[in-house]
């Protein structure tokens, strides 16, 4: 019975937290004079109640699964990597550059995805080295590299990969590099298969390989892991490499699989925020690769239904965003508390006696 409860406890906590979030969101709308029931009905009906809404939810979830994986791998190792945003920008730039080449249809998307993953790995290599060699905290270094990536991507969009006909975006990737659409008339592409496949591979790697066990052991008790022979530096490098690959692929699936332009816009408007939203998705999914998949679909559904919630239920956009934030915060709070407790325990273990 105790084992059954331990298995059901995360699900129970998420359900209770979600109900609390929905209740608080309803109270916010009611307090400002809006009827929450029609608003919620539109939100969930247009997100999951028809083919177009479900396809939009899955399309929105595609990059979020990958950026959430980038954060969750670090969290499992006791690292707070928040650099998925910058790694994703570099992955998108690499995908556009590789996607503009002339290559056979079967090889072209694979090469573009591989180059995006490599770009994410290389962008995360410096923060990884700083953490492993000099002890620079990953929060500080990855925030700095997010801004460096932000402005470097600005420069590449405006001066290097710019479309000569439409200066507000990069060149569009070649048709041979584009990911095929799964549902006609929507923006759901084969990228969702890539994202779910990556989640499954990360789960297998973390829970069914020696290296994955060492990473989870380092996150649970770094001193015991070090005593058992686990190299802290190797763990950091492996984790950053995997996080960089996942974030780089997130940028690739957005540029290779999002119609109609298949490009990156000036201001990074079609990319901005996925890296940070992935942190919330990872929290909702309890930083577990398999839990991230439904969490990302739920979050993507909230994004898909929010626009129609504003149009049909007449709820202002600012109110919609506030309600979304309350729901996501309520769902993420249990895992956030657990991570804070774990980091505090690790800090106490590292404190000299």
Give domain status of residue 30, yes or no: no
Cis peptide before 260 (omega within 30 of 0): yes
For 319, the token pair is 């109110």
Radius of gyration of the chain (CA): 21
Buried b (16+ CB within 10 A) or exposed e, 27-61: ebbeeeebebeebbebbbebbbeeeebbbbbbbbb
Residue 14 has pLDDT above 80, yes or no: no
Asked if residue 268 lies in contact with residue 155, where contact means CB atoms within 8 angstroms, the answer is no
User: Residue 51 contacts by C-beta under 8 Å, 6 or more apart in sequence?
Assistant: 183, 186
How confident is the model at residue 274, as a pLDDT? 92
How confident is the model at residue 4, as a pLDDT? 44
Give the N- to C-terminal CA distance of the chain in Å, as an integer.
Answer: 39
Instruction: Quick: pLDDT tens for 241-279.
Output: 999 999 999 999 999 998 888 999 988 888 988 999 999
Compute CA distances 168 → 156, 267, 269, 318, 327, whole Å.
12, 9, 11, 27, 35
Asked if residue 96 lies in contact with residue 115, where contact means CB atoms within 8 angstroms, the answer is no
How confident is the model at residue 109, as a pLDDT? 95
Give domain status of residue 250, yes or no: yes
3-state secondary structure (DSSP) of residue 169: strand
Instruction: Quick: pLDDT tens for 117-159.
Output: 999 999 999 999 999 999 898 999 999 999 999 999 999 999 9
Asked if residue 250 lies in contact with residue 298, where contact means CB atoms within 8 angstroms, the answer is no
Give the number of domains in the chain: 1
Which structural domain, as residue segments, surrounds residue 58?
A: 50-341
d(CA 300, CA 302): 5
Give domain status of residue 112, yes or no: yes
User: Residue 5 contacts by C-beta under 8 Å, 6 or more apart in sequence?
Assistant: none
How confident is the model at residue 200, as a pLDDT? 96
Q: What is the pTM of this model?
A: 0.90
Give domain status of residue 85, yes or no: yes
67-71, 139-143, 280-284: lowest mean pLDDT where? 280-284
Asked if residue 305 lies in contact with residue 62, where contact means CB atoms within 8 angstroms, the answer is no
Give domain status of residue 22, yes or no: no
Give domain status of residue 162, yes or no: yes
**What's 119's domain CATH number?**
1.10.3470
Q: How confident is the model at residue 3 (pLDDT cuts 50, 70, 90)?
A: low
**Residue 337: Cβ-neighbour burial (10 angstroms; 0-12, 13-18, 19+):** exposed
d(CA 211, CA 339): 21
Residue 5 has pLDDT above 50, yes or no: no
Give domain status of residue 9, yes or no: no
User: Any idea what DSSP says for residue 265?
Assistant: B
Residue 12 has pLDDT above 80, yes or no: no
d(CA 63, CA 266): 19
């Amino acid at each position: 019975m105790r084992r059954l409860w331990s298995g059901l406890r995360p699900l129970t906590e998420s359900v209770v937290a979600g109900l609390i979030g929905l209740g608080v969101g309803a109270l916010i709308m009611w307090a400002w004079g809006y009827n929450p029931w029609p608003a919620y009905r539109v939100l969930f009906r247009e997100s999951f109640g028809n083919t177009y809404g479900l396809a939009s939810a899955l399309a929105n979830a595609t990059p979020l699964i990958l950026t959430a994986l980038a954060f969750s791998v670090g969290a499992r190792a006791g690292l707070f990597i928040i650099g998925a945003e910058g790694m994703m920008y570099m992955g998108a730039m690499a995908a556009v550059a590789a996607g503009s080449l002339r290559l056979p249809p079967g090889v072209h998307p694979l090469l573009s995805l591989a180059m995006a993953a490599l770009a994410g790995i290389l962008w995360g290599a410096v923060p990884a080295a700083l953490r492993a060699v000099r002890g620079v905290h990953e929060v500080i270094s990855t925030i700095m590299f997010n801004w460096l990536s932000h402005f470097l991507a600005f420069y590449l969009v405006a001066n290097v990969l710019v479309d000569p006909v439409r200066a507000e975006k990069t060149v569009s990737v070649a048709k041979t590099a584009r990911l095929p659409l799964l549902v006609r008339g929507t923006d759901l592409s084969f990228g969702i298969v890539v994202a779910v496949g990556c989640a499954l591979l990360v789960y297998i790697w973390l829970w069914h390989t020696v290296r994955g066990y060492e990473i989870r052991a380092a996150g649970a008790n770094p001193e015991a892991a070090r005593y058992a022979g686990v190299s802290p530096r190797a763990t950091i490098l492996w984790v950053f490499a995997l996080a960089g690959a996942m974030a780089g692929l997130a940028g690739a699936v957005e540029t290779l699989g999002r119609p109609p332009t298949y490009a990156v816009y000036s201001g990074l408007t079609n990319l901005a925020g996925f890296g940070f939203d992935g942190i919330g998705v990872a929290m909702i999914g309890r930083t577990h690769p398999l839990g991230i998949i439904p969490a990302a679909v739920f979050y993507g559904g909230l994004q898909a239904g929010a626009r129609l919630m504003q149009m049909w239920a007449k709820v202002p956009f600012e109110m919609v965003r506030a309600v979304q934030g309350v729901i996501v915060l309520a769902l993420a709070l249990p895992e956030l508390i657990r991570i804070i407790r774990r980091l505090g325990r690790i800090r106490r273990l590292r404190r000299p006696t």
